[in-house]
Amino acid sequence: MKNKNDKKISMENKYKQQFREVIGMIQEARYNAVKSVNTELIKLYWNVGKYISRKIESAEWGDSVVDRLADYIQEKHTNFKGFNRRGLYRMRQFYETYHNNQIVSPLVTQISWTNHLLILSKTKTDEEKEFYMRLSIKDNYSK
């Protein structure tokens, strides 16, 4: 027959297991939230890059207009980070690099912006880019 201490230890173990389940739910929700935010940011950067690319392609804008856009954003929305001249040109490069690549395009929202910047700066061929994107997804690299 179990004594009071054994019952108490058994209940404590049961509670700890249940608590771990709740912690697991919290961690999963946090991970999913970060993934959703990342997806939306990547879509935003893609769309901004597409917009700039098309304006330049149509000769409606030149480099100086992109510079003015960066200045305008910084002046009007000081809390918008990453939309300086360099950031806007990276968004353009991001869009122009992947928009015609039917293999890589579906992968772009699955990795972080930091990983995209690394891949864009360190690789030369589409095959290399695809390899590192798939590796980042497979190994769940966060940076």
Q: What is the DSSP string of 64-100?
A: HHHHHHHHHHHHH-TT-TT-SHHHHHHHHHHHHHHTT
Label residue 121 by pLDDT band (50, 70, 90).
very high
pLDDT, tens only, 38-95? 999 999 999 999 999 999 999 999 989 999 999 999 999 999 999 999 999 999 999 9
Amino acid at 34: V
Amino acid at 47: N
Q: Using DSSP, how many helices (H) and how many strands (E) does the chain show?
A: 5, 0
How far, in Å, CA of 45 to CA of 108, rounded? 11
State mean pLDDT over 27-45: 94
Label residue 6 by pLDDT band (50, 70, 90).
confident
Of residues 139, 138, 133, 101, the one with CA closest to residue 119: 133
* Interior/surface letters 73-107, b for 16+ CB within 10 angstroms, e for the rest: beeeeeeeeebeeebbbbbbbbbebbeeeeebeeb
Instruction: Report the share of the chain in percent with pLDDT over 70.
Output: 97
What is residue 78's predicted lDDT score, i.e. its pLDDT?
A: 94
Predicted TM-score (pTM) of this structure? 0.81
How does the average pLDDT of the chain come out, rounded? 91
Q: Both tokens of residue 86?
A: 């360099």
